[in-house]
Amino acid sequence: MIERLARRVRLMVARAVLNLVNDAGGLQLLQVSALADETRDDVERAQNYGLTSVPLPGATVVMVAVAGSRDHLVATAVDDPRYRPTGLNAGEVCIYTHEGDRVHLKNGRLIELTTQTLRVNADTLIEFNTEKVQINAPLVNTSGQLKTAGDITDTAGSNGRTVAGMRAQYNSHTHGGVQTGPGSSGTPNKGM
């Protein structure tokens, strides 16, 4: 009896290798390879609320045998050392994929996002409340209007003029040598 109890205690926590994931239901069901020649189907996977993932075959699984019964295994953790980012500092958090995408919450209140394409879908509004937004890109496209409550400054060259300043300059300029007919007038008296 004691030997049987000791065996159940030894087998309460096990390590396995992930074979397959069924993500169709409320709880994921895993197929894992545990002890030598032991393949288990329909191992429930407990995940933290608000976070979900579908791990790749070959990932490491930690399982608990509920009430010591190997007939009711629950996966409590799945990790994949092949893809897990390393070198984080104490206190940092990183969400990642096997393709290299990352949301890295770094010390110093810095969040660094790494991906190939970032798409934000918001039905009503995206709002940034900050003192400054910097975009480091050779081209910025918009499919609609660009409206600003402040002014727009052109500092591509050395003029450093605002759009409002250029508009005032344009509105107040005159031409000399104006003649009726197909001819051209003289150059403006003020440059842009």
**Residue 18 near residue 63, CB atoms below 8 Å:** no
Which residue has tokens 């010591």? 68
Mean pLDDT estimate for the chain: 88
What is the helix, strand, coil percentage profile of the chain, to 5?
Answer: 10, 30, 60
**Residue 9 near residue 25, CB atoms below 8 Å:** no
Whole-model pTM: value is: 0.74
pLDDT tops 70 at residue 191: no
Is residue 156 very low, low, confident or very high in pLDDT (cuts 50, 70, 90)?
A: low
- Strand extents, DSSP E, the chain: 13-22, 28-33, 39-45, 60-65, 73-79, 93-96, 102-106, 110-114, 153-154, 161-162
Is residue 154 very low, low, confident or very high in pLDDT (cuts 50, 70, 90)?
A: confident
